[in-house]
């Protein structure tokens, strides 16, 4: 029997994502000036206020206030009527030194034996459903908001948009798990005040359906464009007026959008957030490593979809276990347990090995903090820190390394594909 599956996304101006982006900007600045930095940084944003808290072990000294203001400015909170504005918001820092009790469990005389920064389990997932091996509902939800942000910054076709927004996509699947059509699209976007609320709502709905949706469709392959139809149910700003938004409308905290950050509810999640954590924290690095494994297994033709789980004990380098579930789609005559044992031979999942393989000691994390950590394109870019100041630094980095299909040949060779 056909079924429905839903995923959501939130924009870079959503208060929780504002917090994530500030936390990851701090991570990047610490790593740019000291690659050995150990950081766990949390951010809270609310009306006119930013609170920074966390633990740091680093040789770098940062102007955390200016870093936070630059993030807020880039997102688009630059007007006083937003009640949260880059130049005027208060910023309080309660960042202090990392506990030596935690640090002794992570650092080792032999770097290869670096211990996991915490216990826990992390999951990676991949599916052939899209070109980037991501679940389709989440991929479309992200694309809607990326394009909405582009329209906001252009300020031409639609001129009333404000930074905060959310999207949600529901897709109907057939019995054999193939997407048949888009059933429902939900978009809630913050906007400037209007004199007439009824006309405002009608205008926003018309613009979302006639401007935003066609721009997103144009980016898709024909088979995905065909999923859009005249029977889609649209809920556009269903609560009505949405002028008060962002950190003034809701308090934002780092790490509260973990499903948006990963697979939109497909697969599984270990519960640990990513933003604000340096790669010694396996919540982040091992989640990237399992995505890297999952994507390469599917791309190599081993299976149509796969869930990969790894688990750790704090201070211990070697994982407690590796679990793989191909959902019955494996193309080799092996059990999932046998596949897992062979995968362990291909991918070294000790924390230090993950950091080295995926180049995670580089300042690459600001790019991850909005529109998902997975399914993005790996690129080599030059990042500039403290531009125009005495300590300006340029760093060439490779982003989203866990999205590279650089282990496909090794997987094929190992499994005889």
Residue 326 lies in a domain: yes
Residue 399 lies in a domain: yes
- Is residue 227 predicted with pLDDT exceeding 90? yes
Pair (314, 238) in one structural domain? no
Query: Hey, how many other C-beta atoms are within 10 angstroms of the C-beta on 153?
Result: 11
- Is residue 270 predicted with pLDDT exceeding 90? yes
Q: What is the tens place of the pLDDT at every residue in 284-299?
A: 999 999 999 999 999 9
Of 299, 153, 140, 151, the C-alpha closest to 228 is: 140
Element (H, E) at 94: strand 90-97
Q: What is the tens place of the pLDDT at every residue in 323-379?
A: 999 999 999 999 999 999 999 999 999 999 999 999 999 999 999 999 999 999 999
- Is residue 109 predicted with pLDDT exceeding 80? no
Residue 134 burial (10 A CB sphere; 0-12, 13-18, 19+): buried
Domain of 309? 120-127+281-415
Task: Write out the binding residues for K(+).
Answer: 42
Strands 305-312 and 120-127: antiparallel
Q: 201 to each of 161, 189, 233, how far by Cα in Å?
A: 13, 11, 16
Residue 375 lies in a domain: yes
Task: Write out the binding residues for Mg(2+).
Answer: 16
Residue 382 lies in a domain: yes
> Region 199-218: what's the mean pLDDT?
96
Task: Write out the binding residues for L-methionine.
Answer: 55, 98, 250, 281
Q: What is the mean pLDDT of the chain?
A: 95
Element (H, E) at 283: helix 282-299
Element (H, E) at 213: helix 213-217
- Of 245, 268, 291, the last residue of a domain is 245
Residue 219 lies in a domain: yes
| Confidence band for 195, pLDDT divided at 50, 70 and 90 | confident
- Per-residue confidence (pLDDT) for residue 283, from 0 to 100: 96
- Is residue 104 predicted with pLDDT exceeding 80? no
**Alpha helix positions (H), 311-402:** 336-346, 351-357
Q: How many helices (H) and strands (E) does the chain have?
A: 13, 13
**Nearest-10 crossing angle of helices 15-33, 64-75:** 130
Q: Are 349 and 382 in contact (CB under 8 A)?
A: no
- Is residue 98 predicted with pLDDT exceeding 90? no
Residue 94 lies in a domain: no
Of 126, 129, 132, 134, the C-alpha closest to 378 is: 132
- Per-residue confidence (pLDDT) for residue 232, from 0 to 100: 97
Element (H, E) at 170: strand 161-173
3-state class (DSSP) for residue 294: helix
- Per-residue confidence (pLDDT) for residue 150, from 0 to 100: 98
Pair (192, 315) in one structural domain? no
Q: What is the tens place of the pLDDT at every residue in 366-396?
A: 999 999 999 999 999 999 999 988 899 999 9
Pair (290, 377) in one structural domain? yes
Task: Write out the binding residues.
Answer: 14, 16, 42, 55, 98, 164-166, 241-242, 250, 256-257, 273, 277, 281
Q: Are 320 and 312 in contact (CB under 8 A)?
A: yes
> Region 206-229: what's the mean pLDDT?
96
Pair (318, 397) in one structural domain? yes
- Per-residue confidence (pLDDT) for residue 192, from 0 to 100: 96
Pair (315, 214) in one structural domain? no
Beta bridge partners of 305: 127
- Per-residue confidence (pLDDT) for residue 102, from 0 to 100: 52
CATH number reported for the structural domain that contains residue 165 in this entry = 3.30.300.10
Q: What are phi and psi of 353, to 5 degrees?
A: -65, -40
Task: Write out the binding residues for ATP.
Answer: 14, 164-166, 241-242, 250, 256-257, 273, 277
- Total residues found in the chain within this entry: 417
Per the structure, the count of domains in the chain is 2
- Is residue 278 predicted with pLDDT exceeding 90? yes
Ramachandran quadrant class, 296 (left: phi over 0; alpha: psi -120 to 50; beta: rest)? alpha
- Is residue 105 predicted with pLDDT exceeding 60? no
Q: What is the tens place of the pLDDT at every residue in 27-36?
A: 999 999 999 9
Pair (238, 286) in one structural domain? no
* Residue-wise burial string across 329-354, b where 16 or more C-beta atoms lie within 10 A, e elsewhere: ebeeeeebeebbeebbeebbbbbbbb
- Which residue is associated with the tokens 């309080």? 92
Q: Which two tokens stand for residue 244?
A: 């008060």
pTM of structure: 0.96
- Per-residue confidence (pLDDT) for residue 116, from 0 to 100: 86
Q: 308 to each of 29, 137, 264, how far by Cα in Å?
A: 31, 20, 16
- Per-residue confidence (pLDDT) for residue 307, from 0 to 100: 98
Pair (236, 294) in one structural domain? no
| Confidence band for 115, pLDDT divided at 50, 70 and 90 | confident
Beta bridge partners of 253: 44
Residue 277 DSSP symbol: B
- Which residue is associated with the tokens 């029997």? 1
Pair (294, 180) in one structural domain? no
Q: Are 257 and 17 in contact (CB under 8 A)?
A: yes
Residue 298 lies in a domain: yes
């Amino acid at each position: 029997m056909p079924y429905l599956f839903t995923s959501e996304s939130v924009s870079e101006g959503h208060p929780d994502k504002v917090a994530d982006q500030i936390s990851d900007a701090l991570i990047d600045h610490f790593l740019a000036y000291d690659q050995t930095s150990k950081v766990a940084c949390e951010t809270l944003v609310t009306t006119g206020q930013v609170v920074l808290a966390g633990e740091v072990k680093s040789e770098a000294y940062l102007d955390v206030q200016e870093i936070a203001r630059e993030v807020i400015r880039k997102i688009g909170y630059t007007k006083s009527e937003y009640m949260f504005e880059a130049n005027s918001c208060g910023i309080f820092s309660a960042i202090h030194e990392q506990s030596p009790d935690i640090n002794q469990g992570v650092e080792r005389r032999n770097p290869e034996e670096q211990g996991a920064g915490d216990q826990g389990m992390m999951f990676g997932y991949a599916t052939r459903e899209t070109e980037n091996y991501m679940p389709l509902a989440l991929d479309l939800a992200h694309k809607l908001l990326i394009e909405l942000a582009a329209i906001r910054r252009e300020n031409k076709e639609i001129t009333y948009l404000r930074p905060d927004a959310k999207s949600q996509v529901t897709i109907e699947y057939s019995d054999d798990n193939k997407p048949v059509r888009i059933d429902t699209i939900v978009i809630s976007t913050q906007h400037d005040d209007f004199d007439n609320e009824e006309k405002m709502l009608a205008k926003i709905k018309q613009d979302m359906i006639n401007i935003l949706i066609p721009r997103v469709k144009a980016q898709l392959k024909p088979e995905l464009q065909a999923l859009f139809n005249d029977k889609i149910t649209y809920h556009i700003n269903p609560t009505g007026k949405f002028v008060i938004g962002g950190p003034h409308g809701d308090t934002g905290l780092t790490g509260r959008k973990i499903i948006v950050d990963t697979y939109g509810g497909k697969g599984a999640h270990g519960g640990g957030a990513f933003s604000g954590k340096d790669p010694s924290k396996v919540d982040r690095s091992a989640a990237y490593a399992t995505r890297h494994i999952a994507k390469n297994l599917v791309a190599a033709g081993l299976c149509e979809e796969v869930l990969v789980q790894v688990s750790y004990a704090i201070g211990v380098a070697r994982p407690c276990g590796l679990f793989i579930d191909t959902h019955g789609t494996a193309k080799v005559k092996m059990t999932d347990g046998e596949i897992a044992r062979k995968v362990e031979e291909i991918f070294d999942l000790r924390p230090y090995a993950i950091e080295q393989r995926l180049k995670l000691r580089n300042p690459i994390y600001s790019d991850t903090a909005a529109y998902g950590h997975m399914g993005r394109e790996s690129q080599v870019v030059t990042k500039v820190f403290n531009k125009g100041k005495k300590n300006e630094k340029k760093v060439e980095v490779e982003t989203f390394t866990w999205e590279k299909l650089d282990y496909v040949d090794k997987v094929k060779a190992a499994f005889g594909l």
